[in-house]
Amino acid sequence: MEYQPIKYIGSQVLAFIILLAGSAVLLDNSARDSSFQPRVRESMRILIMNSQYDDARNTLAMIQEGIACCGADGPGDYLTLQQPIPTECRDTVTGNPFFHGCVDELTWFFEAKCAWIAALAMLVAFIT
């Protein structure tokens, strides 16, 4: 098997273009303003409406305590759906409800992760 520099260079250029394009697409279509937000919003509202059941209540508690958020878009979701604001939705020190909803908090979390993944892909593209 003989060395074929044209094929090697071509494959490296193709890999570079694919990784760079993939990074650009990932950054452009990350969590903000995508189908991710409406899905999380609808899921959170369904969980709030079904919070009388243990499974939904436990899931809500885990999400809201874990990422320090309240409702889908804020504590007003509970008032709109005529539900009491749970203790998991409140700051343990002040007792005030968390200001940001879980949709915003999860979006910010995943945007940061998307940026790291895109940066890593671009680094790999420039190294190879």
Domain count, the chain: 1
The helix or strand, by DSSP H or E, that contains position 103, with its residue range, turns out to be helix 102-127
The b-or-e profile of 73-86 (16+ CB within 10 A means b, else e) is bbbebbeeeeeebb
Q: What are the DSSP calls for 108-120, one per residue?
A: HHHHHHHHHHHHH
Domain CATH for 79 = 1.10.1450.10
Write out pLDDT tens, residues 72-111.
999 999 889 888 888 989 888 998 889 999 999 988 888 8
Which structural domain range is residue 94 located in? 36-127
- Confidence band of 2 (pLDDT split at 50, 70, 90): low
Q: For 39-80, write each residue's pLDDT tens digit.
A: 889 999 999 999 899 999 999 999 999 999 999 999 999 889
Residue 66 included in any domain:
yes
